Structures are given as structure tokens and as C-alpha cells.
Amino acid sequence: MQSTTPAAQPGLSRRSFLFGAAALGAGLSMAGCAPGQGSGGKTTTITFYVSKPEVIGYFDGLIKQFHASQDTVRVIRDSTSSMSADFVRNQPPDLGCWNYNFSVAAFVRHGALSDLSDMAEAKSINPKLWPLLQQTATYPGRTSAIPYSVMAASVIYNKDMFARYGLAVPTTWSQLQAVCRTLQGAGISPFYNTLKDNWTVAQGMFDYSVGGMVDIPRFFSALDAEGTSVRAGSAASFHKDFQGPMQHMSQLALLANQDAASRGYGDGNLAFAQGKAAMYLQGPWALNEIAKTAPTMNLGTFPLPVTEDPADLKVRVNVDLALWIPEASKKKAAARQFLSFLMQPEVNDKYNADNNGFGVRTDSPPARNPALAGMQKYYDGAAFYLGASQLIPASIPVADYAQAIALGSAPGPELATLDSDWSRLALRNA
Amino acid sequence: MSTQVMPAPATHTAPATAGSRPRRRPSRAQRGSWALTIILALCSLTVLVPLYASCVMAFKTTRQAVDGNAFSLPFPLSLDGFVQAWTLTDFPRSFAISVFIAAVTVAGTIALSSFAAFAISHNWENRVFRWSFFYLLAAMFLPFPVVALSQVKLTGMVHLDNPVGVAILHIMFQLSFSVMLFTAFLRSIPTELEESARIDGASTWQVFWRLVFPLLAPMSATVGIFAFLASWNDYMMPTLITADPALQTLPVLQNIFQTQFSNNYNVSFASYLMAMAPAIIVYLISQRWVMSGLTQGAIK
């Protein structure tokens, strides 16, 4: 008796603790389930996936507006679930708003996304944009996604600095070199490079040099036709077609800040905002980051000239956001209703104006940010290309090869490696 | 009887061996302790410096946060990061869900693995129990990513694609390591203790609950801390298993603060500080037990 009584007391308190924890857990799980079950009656609840974290607040505001405008569809915004897991358990979001790149390409190719070609919104899209979507991924006979926002990228330059040295925007390779010589003579590094982050090299110097000289769609379809036999001597190969652009890139790399090898993306935004270089090879996403340090900086953009012909000038674009509805969604009608709401010209145009995007309809207004004005002409004239680094499958580390070339490696061997990677991947997929 | 006898020699021998050494060679021991102090101070810097950086970063304005000086003091002082982090993660809700998963994981891991360890250590001669121990240990070599796809599919099929499913999976993945710790500890408890309880008429359940489980307390604290940290800090499992975005945990939601193209250092660090607080508090409270658990195990 004596030995059991003292032992019982700590046992009791531990037991009550465990019961308490279990009760707390049960209570919480009930509370968690409550809002999900509350959507009875005639309302349909759909899940809307936004992949861009920086615009979550913006879309939350839109969802509120949408809820106020009607009461049959309720939208839950999701930005954290794993998309692959959602598809695996056959519960994908009812409406997706994603980058149209490799992450979505697999879903498109396997026909996981429903056809939207009968929607009026699909017909209003600028027809020049469809080839961009088809190049990334396509499913026969379907319009799998509707573009929402396109981002155009080129050289960002410091307008005040150009004005101070009486420089005009260069339109040919030799003009660009003359501009760089003037800047170097004044002790200013022409470009600010951030080689530490390899993706900045791939989307900047690499894509701009290649896109300015190579016909991207034709090159990649030739490469696809070549398939497993891509090598240094074949009709189309990285070794043959990228040799010229890479020579230019190697020269560009020499015109940058001395410490480029150890600088990352964040350092680049800060340094450029502090006026440490005249030009910066980044897309419009960097404009917001530069504005954190220098909100009133006078910036402009121009396509990187890599040939002697001003007619070759083009800007790099990517379909930043596209809307799509999965085949597995059971609430396609409600999802289409919200899609139409998002695609209304005033809603869509406001998004693009606020987020440095270019419009997707033929009647979209020009980009609002004055820094993007330099690219409008090229965008309207469809003088654009998808970045080559975005069209090479992610399993080939093209950003690393680009980084190596920017750091001084000879382009030839790197491009030969790229060729053998391509043919090996083609063999594996065959 | 035996409970009073056991610690007695232990407490006598421990100070005797520890106390005799410094008296014989005081200078070397002192020098040794100085070197040790310096090494420990340097080691603690590896924790304190990042902690300092995250504290000051959390109070900076966005403009100061990107200026490249991580160690500068925040000026002007801004609570903007905390406000944004609070609203963007819906902090009270995500915090409650994280706490719920961690609490269920800790309670479940301690209960299940101590049951299993008790059964295994008492039936070691039985082939079924011995092999079930090896079977549980083998799970240590099976990381979650390997079985992720099938787990996602399975939890979806049985409607466990929610925090309850995450907690159950956390318990499962903690089981092997915890059973190993408990079994090793249980083997050091003399069987006479249990036999005396049996003589007094205790059933198996009473032996476990009244006698063995209280003795396991220090090891339970260790197991509990491991289970808590694994569950609280986990990113991959909740992000894959939880289907409803409104039931997502804190670490997963914090992922939205940093992308390839933009950095919100002040917001993310404010959010990390808020998430770190409970882990630190839990450790501060329970570390005494961990320490005592380690020394008890060492003497026995």
C-alpha cells in the first residue's frame, strides 16, 4: 500500500496531461474541420492556386471583390500545397495561376489540364502569344492554359548615368562596345554581374546573347528532330549554333565589376541601386528590389544588341502567369466563372500595371512603369523570344555551364557537354 | 527497498572519482578548463551570432534589411515585419495547428514507443518480439522522401490528408529511434524491481504504468524533445500530406517569404523569431530532465 500511493500521484498527473493533450488535439481538429464543412447549400467552394508569393495579398483582395459580386461561388486561395501531391491524390486545385514553364509542362503534356479553347477569354488573347505557350508545352487539340501576364526582360540601364556621359541607347554590337569604352574611361563598370547565383547568368547574359543571334523556335525544333544524334557535327547543335553568342558573352563578362564572381542577386540589386554600374542584365522582377533601396531611380530598358543589324533586336519574354483548370476538377463551371472574373480587362490590366507585366490581349494598354517603355515597341511587334535556358529541360544544368563560361571557361567544351547531355536525355525519353 | 538502495552507491562513487582528480593536479585541470571555456565560448558564438542577426533583422525596415549590413542595429526601429508576418501566415491559426501536430506527435511517440519497448525488452527471448525490434529499427534507414508518393496517395484515400494524418506519420517516423532509446534504457532497469511489484500483486499494466513508466521519465523527456523538434521543424511532410491550405503548418507557410526573385528579410526573420520561440521555451523547460536522464543512464 505504502509503495503504491506515492507512485500513483505522478502517474495521475501524467495521465491527466496526456488526456489534456489529446482533448486539446481533438478540439483543434474539430475546429479546423468546421469551416470546410460549412459550405453547404447552393454555394460551390473552389480552390485557387497562386504560385507567386509576392502577389498573394493582391489576389486576396480580388477574391473579396469576387465574393461581394456574387454569392454562388466561394474561393479558397492556396499557395503552399505541393502541386504534385495534389495531382497524385487526385485533388488538384480547381483553378491554377502559375508560371508557364517546366513545372507545368509535365501536366500539360500528359493531358491533365482541361481544354479552354471554347471560352471567350481564350479568343481575346493576343494571337502572337500562343506560339510561346506551344513552345513550352502542348497537348494535341487543346488550349490548356490562358496567359495572364507576360514579363519582358532586357538590359536595365541607369538613364541619368547615360545622360551624364552623353550616351545614346546602343542598337548594334559595336555601339554597345563604344558605350562600354566610354563608361570604362570614366571609371564606371558598364555592367553589374552577379555570377555567384548561376540563374542570373542563365536568364541574363546567356539568354540575351543567344536570343539576339539565334532563331530560338527554329533551333529547338531542329534540335528535337535531331534527337539522340545531337553532337558537335550534327545539323543543329549547341556547339555549332551557340558558338557565336557565347563568344559575345565571354566578352560581355569582361566588361563587368571586378568582384562579379562573388556577388549574388541581392548584392546586385543593392549595388545597382547605389549607382555602382550603368547596366544590369535582369528582368522587371529586379525593378521592385532596386526600388527598395532607391525608389525614385531613373531607369530604362533596351534589348541587348549582339549583331550589327538593329532589325535583329529582340526582348526575352516568359509567360509569367497563366490560368488553367485541371481535367480532374469537379467544379469546372465555378472555376470558369472565377477565371472570367480574373480575365476582365480592368482586373487583368490592373494586375499587369501593378506588377510590371505586359498585357495579354491585343487591346491591352502599354506597360505603365516608365522603365519598361523601352521594350514596348519590341513587345508589340512580337520581336521576342523565350529564354533558351528555359527551354532546356531542368535535368540539364545549363545555368552551371553558362556560369562556367562567364567565369572564363572556353565555350567549346562546355557546349559539347551540353550537346551530349541533350542527346543522352533524348535517348532516355525515347 | 531496492529503489532506496540503488542510487545510494551511485551518489557516493560519483563525487569521489570527480573530486579526487582536481586535488592532485590543480594547475593542469585549471588550464584545461580555461581552454574548454574558450572552445565552448567560440561554439556558442556559432549560435549567438546568427541569433543576433535574426533579432536585429526582424526589427529593420525593408530598405535597411537589403542594404547588405546584417549586423547593423535597426534604425529606425520597425515592427512592420512582425505585422506583415502575422497577417501573411495567419499566425494564430497556423501556430495552433503546428502546436496541435507537435503535441500529438510527442504524446503519441512517448506512449507508443514506451509500450513497444516494454514489450520487446521483456520478451527478448521470444523470436517474434526480437525480430519486430529489428523490423522497427530497419525503418530508421527509410527516409520519408522514398515513400512520399505512396504516402500521399494512401493518406488521400483514407481521408487523412490533414494535420491528423501528418501527426500519425510523424509518430511512425519517430518510432524506430525512440523504441531503440527506450529499449536500451529499459534493459538497465533491474528485473528485481519488477518482481517485487509482481509479488505485491501488480498486473502487467500496473507494473508498466506505476513503476516502469515513471522510471522512464528522463528518457521520455529526451524522446519527447526529439519528437517535438522533428515535428515542429518539419517542412516536407506537411507540405505534401496536408490538402487543405487552411490547415497548413507554420514552417510551410513561411516558405512564401523568400523566392528566387525577391527577398523580404525583415518579414521572414520576424516570422522565424515568432516560430522559434516555442522550441526554445520547450527546450529551456525540459533540458534539466534531459541532462539528469543522461547522467542517470551513465551511472547505471
Nearest CB to B107: which of A22, A57, A292? A22
CATH superfamily of A152-317+385-429: Periplasmic binding protein-like II (3.40.190.10)
The amino acid occupying position A400 is: D
Q: Least CA distance to A51: which residue of chain B?
A: B256
Contact B255 A76 (CB under 8 A): no
Asked if the Cβ–Cβ distance from A81 to B239 is below 8 Å, we say yes
d(CA A44, CA A63): 14
Cell 543567344 locates to: A210
pLDDT at position B188 is 85
Domain ranges (residues) in chain B: 89-257
Q: Which residues of B touch A285 (CB under 8 A)?
A: 261-262
Cell numbers at residue B50, please?
A: 546568427
Q: Tell me the mean pLDDT in the region A92-109.
A: 88
Predicted confidence band at B296 (pLDDT cuts at 50, 70, 90)? Answer: low
> What's the CATH fold of domain A44-151+318-381?
D-Maltodextrin-Binding Protein; domain 2 (3.40.190)
Kindly state the percentage of chain A with pLDDT values over 70: 90
pLDDT tens digits for A297-309? 999 999 999 999 9
pLDDT: which is higher, B93 or A233: B93
Work out the pLDDT band at A8, boundaries 50, 70, 90. Answer: very low
Q: What is B89-257's CATH number, 1.10.3720.10, 3.40.309.10, 2.60.40.650, 1.20.1110.10? A: 1.10.3720.10
Question: Which residue of A lies nearest to B150 if distances are taken between CA atoms?
Answer: A88
Report which secondary-structure segment, H or E, holds B167: helix B163-187
Nearest to B256 among A4, A35, A79 (CB): A79
Structural domain boundaries of chain A?
44-151+318-381, 152-317+385-429
Q: What is the pLDDT of residues A45-88, one digit of tens each?
A: 999 999 888 888 889 999 999 999 998 999 999 888 888 888 88
Chain B residues closer than 8 Å to A194 by CB: none
Three-class secondary structure assignment of chain A: CCCHHHHHHHHHHHHHHHHHHHHHHHHHHHHHHHHHHCCCCCCEEEEEEECCHHHHHHHHHHHHHHHHHCCCEEEEEECCCCHHHHHHCCCCCCEEEECCCHHHHHHHHCCCECCCCCCHHHHCECHHHHHHHHHHCCCCCCCCCEEEEEEEEEEEEEHHHHHHCCCCCCCCHHHHHHHHHHHHHCCCEEECCCCCCHHHHHHHHHHHHHHHHCCHHHHHHHHHHHHHHCCCCCCCCHHHHCHHHHHHHHHHHCCECCCHHHCCHHHHHHHHHCCCEEEEEECCHHHHHHHHHCCCCCEEEECCCCCCCHHHCCEEEEEEEEEECECCCCCHHHHHHHHHHHHCHHHHHHHHHHCCCECCECCCCCCCCHHHHHHHHHHHCCCEEECHHHHCCCCCCHHHHHHHHHCCCCHHHHHHHHHHHHHHHHHHHC
Residues 6+ apart with CB under 8 A from A99: A51, A52, A318, A319, A320, A321, A322
The phi, psi pair for A299, rounded to 5°, reads -115, 155
Specify which of A21-25, B188-192, B277-281 reaches the highest per-range mean pLDDT: B188-192
Mean pLDDT of A90-105: 87
Q: Give the confidence band of B285 by pLDDT, cuts at 50, 70, 90.
A: confident
A204, amino acid identity: G
Give yes or no on whether A44-151+318-381 and A152-317+385-429 have one common fold. yes
Tell me the nearest-neighbour CA distance from B272 into chain A, angstroms: 17
Contact B245 A76 (CB under 8 A): yes
Instruction: Please determine, for residue B96, whether its predicted confidence score (pLDDT) is greater than 80.
Output: yes
CA distance linking residue A260 with residue A275, whole number of Å: 15
Euclidean distance between CA atoms A356 and A285, whole angstroms? 8
CB within 8 Å: B256 and A56:
yes
What residues of chain A lie within 8 A of the CB of B213, using their CB? Answer: 11, 14
User: ipTM surpassing 0.90, yes or no?
Assistant: no
Q: Classify residue B167 by burial, with Cβ atoms within 10 Å: 0-12, 13-18, 19+.
A: buried
**Cα-trace Rg, chain B:** 24
- CA distances A344 to A121, A267, A365, Å, are 8, 38, 13
Put simply, the answer to whether B156 touches A88 (Cβ < 8 Å) is yes
Q: State mean pLDDT over B90-94.
A: 91
